[in-house]
Amino acid sequence: MGKKMKFEVQENETIDQCLDRIKSEGYTPVKRLEKPIFKENVINGQKSYEPVASQIVFEAVKLEG
């Protein structure tokens, strides 16, 4: 197996565009990670967290050959 690298789906990029970028750099995706991004709200001294977005990251390995 080749070298691992992480590729993040950019703000104005679709998942398909990110996958095309990964392939054009000679990598193949092996794992998808999705992390929620939260916003902290304070109402009457009480903290609450609201999900506002998600960050998608692909782990990819270099293609041999």
**pLDDT tens, 9-50?**
998 999 999 999 999 999 999 999 999 999 999 999 999 999
pLDDT at 29: 96
| Burial of residue 60, with CB atoms counted within 10 A of its CB: 0-12 exposed, 13-18 middle, 19 or more buried | buried
Domain hosting 39: range is 4-62
Its pTM surpasses 0.85: no
In the chain, how many domains are there? 1
pLDDT tens for each residue of 55-64 = 999 999 998 7
* Residues whose CB is less than 8 angstroms from the CB of residue 55 and which lie 6 or more positions away in sequence, other chains included: 8, 9, 34, 35, 36, 37
The amino acid occupying position 14 is T
